[in-house]
Structure 1
Amino acid sequence: MMYWYGNGGGWMWPWMLVGNILFWLLIIIVAVLIFRAFAQRSHSGGHPNQGTPPPPGTPGHGSGAEQILSERYARGEIDEEEYQRRLATLRGSPSGPTQS
């Protein structure tokens, strides 16, 4: 009675095989999902929208220097005249005094 190998135990091995396959499939799927989440986060710099450029016409669109200049103007670090002068310099226009 101690050994049950010959008494109806032959039907259990297919279920153990299916269980093992499902277990390892679940482990692989979870590993792939974790890898993709970390790869996407490192590709975008940690922020979900940082990897995509802003649409045209929104603040911050343009070169990095123009964006920094716009941010400094918005914070009040520079006045409008200095902003216009530096913006003209960045865009390649003459930067002489403006005549209004």
Structure 2
Amino acid sequence: MMGGYGSGMGWTWMFWLLLIVGVLLLAGLGIWFFSVARRRGGPAGSPDGGGAGLAGSGGTPREILDERFARGELTAEEYHERLRTLKGDN
């Protein structure tokens, strides 16, 4: 007699192989998902492609304008012109 383990032992390796492959696939999918999410919603002006600071910065239009001027994206003339537009003093 073979005992209780003889009939199922041939498929045990398949179970463990599929389990390991499944865990590796889930880990890879998780890493890919979080890297894509970070690139799309990263901090403003970040090197990972988060944008130039307008979308997703969460600031008021005045704060965004101030930040762009501080970064050197706008000249003083452009800054004051846009500030007047924001205040409504066309």
TM-score, length basis structure 1 = 0.48
What residue in structure 2 maps to residue 16 of structure 1? 13
SS at match of 1:93: coil
- RMSD of aligned residue pairs (Cα, Å): 3.5
1:1-100 correspondence runs (5 A):
10-45=7-42, 46=48, 52-54=56-58, 60-62=59-61, 67-68=64-65, 70-71=66-67, 72=69, 87-94=83-90
| Shift, 1:86, TM fit | 5.8
Aligned structure 1 segments of 4 or more residues deviating by more than 6 angstroms: none
* Greater relative CO (CA pairs within 8 A, separation 6+): 2
Structure 2: give runs of 5+ residues left out of the alignment.
43-47, 71-75
Structure 1: give runs of 5+ residues left out of the alignment.
1-6, 55-59, 95-100
- Cα distance in 1, alignment partners of residues 37 and 6 from structure 2: 48
- Cα distance in 1, alignment partners of residues 85 and 37 from structure 2: 37
- Cα distance in 1, alignment partners of residues 82 and 8 from structure 2: 81
Question: Which protein has the larger Cα radius of gyration, Structure 1 or Structure 2?
Answer: 1
Report sequence identity in percent.
20
How many pairs are equivalent? 71
